[in-house]
Chains A and B, each alone.
Chain A
Amino acid sequence: MTNFTPVASFIGGVLIGLSAAAMLLLNGKIAGISGILAGVLRPVKADTLWRACFLAGLLAGGLMLRVYLPQAFDFGTIRSPGALTVAGLLVGFGTRLGNGCTSGHGICGTARLSGRSIAATATFMVAGAAVVYAVNHLLRGSL
Chain B
Amino acid sequence: MKALLVSFFSGIVFALGLGISGMTRPIKVIGFLDFTGKWDASLAFVMLGAIAVYSIAYRLVRGRRAPLLGERFLIPERTDIDRNLIAGAAMFGTGWGLAGFCPGPAITSLASGAAPVALFVIAMVAGIYLHGAFTRLAEIRMRPVSAAAQIAADS
Residues of B within 8 A of A8 (CB): 20-22, 42
- Find out whether the CB atom of B104 lies under 8 angstroms from the CB atom of A128: no
- Find out whether the CB atom of B34 lies under 8 angstroms from the CB atom of A97: no
Expressed in whole angstroms, the Cα–Cα distance for A134 and B103 within the complex equals 22
- Known: A26-B6, A65-B108. Contact between A12 and B127, CB under 8 A? no
- Known: A21-B53, A57-B7, A58-B108. Contact between A31 and B14, CB under 8 A? yes
Residues of B within 8 A of A10 (CB): 21, 45-46, 48-49
Q: Which residue of B lies closest to A47 (CB)?
A: B74
- The DSSP consensus for interface residues of chain B is helix
- Find out whether the CB atom of A12 lies under 8 angstroms from the CB atom of B17: yes
Interface size of B in residues (CB-CB distance below 8 Å):
118
Give the bracket for the number of chain A residues in contact with chain B: 35 or more
Residues of B within 8 A of A31 (CB): 10, 14
The interface centre, meaning the residue of B5, B92, B116, B121 with most chain A CB atoms within 10 A of its CB, is B92
Q: Which residue of A lies closest to B91 (CB)?
A: A94
Q: Which residue of A lies closest to B53 (CB)?
A: A17
Across the interface, B85 reaches (CB within 8 A) one of A33, A59, A120, namely: A120
Residues of B within 8 A of A87 (CB): 94-96, 98-99, 101, 120, 123
- Find out whether the CB atom of B28 lies under 8 angstroms from the CB atom of A28: no
- Find out whether the CB atom of A94 lies under 8 angstroms from the CB atom of B94: yes
- Find out whether the CB atom of A53 lies under 8 angstroms from the CB atom of B73: no
- Counting CB contacts under 8 A, is B155 at the interface? no
Residues of B within 8 A of A27 (CB): 3, 6-7, 67, 69-70
Residues of A within 8 A of B3 (CB): 26-27, 50
